Structure 1
Amino acid sequence: MTIVGEIIDLNHARNHPLLDLARQDPESWGTVEAEILRQLNLYQNSLPVFEAAHSSPDGLPARGPSQESLHTKMVIAYATHVTHVLFILLAGKWDPVSLFDDRDSWISSPSFTSTMQHAISAADAVSQILELDPEMRRVSPMAYFTMSKVLTQGSFMPYFLGIQLLQGSFVLLLIIDRLQTKTDVSIINACEVIIRATEACVATLDTEYQRNYRQILRSAVFQARGRYVLQKEAQFRRKAVLALYRWTRSGTGLAL
């Protein structure tokens, strides 16, 4: 979580009207970002080492039943997802409206390409989570209430997973919004994985932003697959929902 704090501090400093060191030293942010990136890479490279240390050569857990092996794989999947989301937060834009407006042509930059790749990788990790964590397996809307009663407070699913899904997939929604029916199938599949995971999150922690985001993401996927959607109405709805969760001085982020 130290890396998360460093990314938050960097983002706050960049947007602070008085502490914007970039005005004094253009290379200052690059140095800080490079150090955070180094720490992220170290953490990412440590995950295979951790997995190997908790598994025997034949793939079975070094000690204990197969349930321990499942737990190790879940740890790796969750950690991998968090890592890619942190890469996105470091290189990408936090504010969804600024992201969609793209007044600085950020989508033409190398940072956008890197962010998009990490968003797809994050969705791949979420797909693994859905397979490995029984509490994240897809349930029908009618089963939400029953499931939320059954789950215990000892759930493996992190409390902030819903926020991680949201911040990690804004760029995917942006691509679908721009390309629509020309969107690559890998992007569409990644969005559908995020939708499934968000539905599972609603079953355990029902929050308004998750329901809203799931609706606009589902609408975007329908449109990308060629289904009839009122384009202007859908785009207006997306912007209206995203505007609720702006990370700006006048915004409240997800604190609603």
Structure 2
Amino acid sequence: MAREERPNVSDLEFRSARPEDEPGILALLRDTMGWAADGTDQEFFWWKHRENPFGPSPAWVAMDGTRVAGYRTLLRWRFITPAGKPVSAVRAVDTATDPAYRGQGIFRRLTLDAVADLTRAGDAFVFNTPNDNSRPGYLSMGWSAVRHLPVGVLPSGPRALITMARSRTASELWSEPTEAGLDARVAFTDDAVCDGLLAHAPHTGLRTDRTREYLRWRTSFEPLRYRVLLRDP
């Protein structure tokens, strides 16, 4: 029986992604990330990486001829310092490697190439919230653990506290439908509503540069089902 030869990473071309790479990138993501057939995951991907008010996401690929063997993209983000100065950064998000090429350092190479290119371009830092499986890989590339993200909870009563304490299941990607409040996509078309919320945004420490444009983008993808509750005048 003949043994199939494993692709060699030394034969791959590592470079920035180009528009003509998109069909191969999407095919790789569908195959490796279990995207739904209804197109929602692909639309979510485009929403993140094309419509982001901080700019389109830069991406890198490992190519075996015309075949996309690996993919790495980082989401552009902008922060504001305590002194009010804008800071450009990126968030490490979507990445995928063709199963036939795994175990050869493609993820690491693409990530380090991306960070080097973005550093030269002037981005100040890269951040993300890796899970337990990917965290060791990021730490080995020079990432530093900052802290656990704080979580705010407003229980409806004592029973809700007990339910939350016993709940150990992971959250769903998409939000459950609700009629509470207003559809955020509609509410935030009103500049006054945007400004009312932004007035209560944090004004200390390093923080996301929240603007009307940011609020409208952040809540615009329908499956996330953001809602707004307005206080009576």
* TM-score normalised by L of structure 1: 0.23
- Work out which structure has the larger RCO, using CA pairs closer than 8 Å and 6 or more positions apart in sequence: 2
Q: Which has the higher helix share?
A: 1
